[in-house]
Amino acid sequence: MHHRQIKDFPADFLWGAASAAYQVEGAWDADGKGPSVWDTFTKQPGRTFKGSNGDVAVDHYHRLEEDLDLMAQMGLKAYRFSVSWPRVLPAGRGAVNEAGLAFYDRLIDGLLARGIAPVLTLYHWDLPQALQDEYGGWEDRRIIADFAAYCGVLYQRFGHKVQHWVSLNEQNYNLTNAYLLGTHPPAVQDRRRFYQANHHAFLANAQAIALFRQTVPKGLIGPSFAYSPCYPSGSSPEEMLAFENAEEFTNWWWLDAYCLGRYPQAALRFLQANGEAPIIEPGDAELLAAGKPDFIGVNYYYTTTVTDNGLDGQTLQRINTTGQKGTTPSSGVPGLYRTTPNPNLATSNWDWAIDPTGLRTGLRRLTSRYALPLFITENGLGEFDQLTADEQVHDDYRIDYLRQHLLACQAALQDGVELLGYCAWSFTDILSWLNGYQKRYGFVYVDRDEVAVRSLRRIPKDSFYWYQGVIARGGRDL
């Protein structure tokens, strides 16, 4: 569909940028914070790129005012950040750490004072280590009540100041890494445990939303999903069926549970036949029904192209964490689908397909299936950046990526998608969980690498000034 006229972005569109606590804050044991599973995991040999961790990260905790001033200079309308659960509840539940909450007071008040809307993510993977040790974290139903209690503390404290809330960030990506690939804590590889942990996360998500309805009646809440729309490799019936399988197992499994309160039928049957389906208890369906979101948070980086995969076919494989282009193997589930490169699309150095039209397609699919407002809570390009001798970063490739994806958002608006906002990933450079500091995403360069913490100086990249202009023009003339 080619439009002659293109719709403007809404006047109240949330032009934003994002981050997550573990990736920016540092101060990993400051002011009474308890350890998270990432504090523990990154210190085990061989887990991350060059042993990188978030002990200091980009030291946002201690450079808060400077970072807030940069956000104001950029003209951001929204800033998405996450709260570290063990900073607020060092043991995961029970005693509240007032000093931890005070940091988020300063952050939220600092944003509001600068006219920037806070978008608060309740959980971006940094589970309190205490709950992992006590009962295995997401593998035990006790997590549902503990997560709700933690959320309740934040609702009480910030419910009158924060309108937009993200419940779980990328449950699909995080738990796939944690329980299938063994690349996030607790580094398990077991399909049955994977589906059970996910089931508890869906229930925890619903319980948190149900509580939100009572405590923050005027707020909006939804999960952020790592959404990679699928393409079939070709139009043969076998390839089309593999495509349906991939959509059902990598997208609808999560989104149907969040938005419709049930699992997709064919996927559930497949898992039941293999003894991998989650145990569903009486009352679970009612809880899911009581915790439907107000919007879907969309984290979009790439599309995935799939083809058919025999019963003795390709299994799930780890992602590229080196930035050596072309090293990502095909990955799949035997009997269902496997990934294949898309010859129509260029890729980043980490082999992520660059596909702005895939974003438009994806936003339309979500709108058709769920009829909910959408909020792009992450979109961006991780690349090697070069700091020039005169302290600049000419990241024209990032400007191009973001520009194309914003144009795709505009086309989706024209298509009738309701889009609340767009948070680019990320505001400053951040610690990439498995890729260290060399895979940079920020509008603001931070002087550090995996080995040396260096000056941590903030240097706005070319993309910073470009996005500043985009926001000033309200997205006109992209």
Q: Which residues bind ligand BG6 (CB under 6 A)?
A: 20, 23, 169-170, 173, 226, 299, 378, 382, 425, 432-435, 439
Closest Cα to residue 210, out of 305, 286, 121? 286
Nearest residue to ligand BG6 on Cβ basis: 432
Q: How far is the CB of 426 from ligand BG6 (least distance, A)?
A: 7
Nearer to ligand BG6, 226 or 374 (CB): 226
Q: Which two tokens stand for residue 100?
A: 């931890």
What pairing do the DSSP bridges indicate for beta strands 164-169 and 220-226?
parallel
CA-CA-CA-CA torsion sign (170, 357, 428, 110): negative
Q: How far is the CB of 32 from ligand BG6 (least distance, A)?
A: 25
**Rounded to an integer, what distance in angstroms lies between the CA atom of residue 448 and that of residue 438?**
9
Q: How far is the CB of 344 from ligand BG6 (least distance, A)?
A: 22
Q: Are 360 and 283 in contact (CB under 8 A)?
A: no
Nearer to ligand BG6, 252 or 433 (CB): 433
Q: How far is the CB of 52 from ligand BG6 (least distance, A)?
A: 11
Q: How far is the CB of 54 from ligand BG6 (least distance, A)?
A: 11
**CA–CA distances in Å: residue 309 to residues 132, 173, 191, 238, 316:** 35, 21, 18, 9, 12
Nearer to ligand BG6, 297 or 460 (CB): 297
**Rounded to an integer, what distance in angstroms lies between the CA atom of residue 74 and that of residue 183?**
35
Closest Cα to residue 81, out of 26, 123, 47? 123
**Rounded to an integer, what distance in angstroms lies between the CA atom of residue 375 and that of residue 350?**
25
Nearer to ligand BG6, 78 or 277 (CB): 78
Q: Catalytic amino acids?
A: 170, 378
Q: How far is the CB of 476 from ligand BG6 (least distance, A)?
A: 29
**Rounded to an integer, what distance in angstroms lies between the CA atom of residue 428 and that of residue 435?**
16
Q: How far is the CB of 362 from ligand BG6 (least distance, A)?
A: 15
Q: How far is the CB of 290 from ligand BG6 (least distance, A)?
A: 26
**Sheet architecture: strand order including 304-307:** 230-232, 304-307, 337-339, 332-333
Peptide bond into 426 cis (omega under 30): yes
Q: Are 24 and 448 in contact (CB under 8 A)?
A: no
**Rounded to an integer, what distance in angstroms lies between the CA atom of residue 353 and that of residue 339?**
12
Q: How far is the CB of 22 from ligand BG6 (least distance, A)?
A: 8
Q: How many CB atoms lie within 10 A of CB 346?
A: 8
**Rounded to an integer, what distance in angstroms lies between the CA atom of residue 462 and that of residue 135?**
47
Closest Cα to residue 174, out of 227, 222, 247, 124? 124
Q: Which residue has the tokens 């898992």?
A: 271
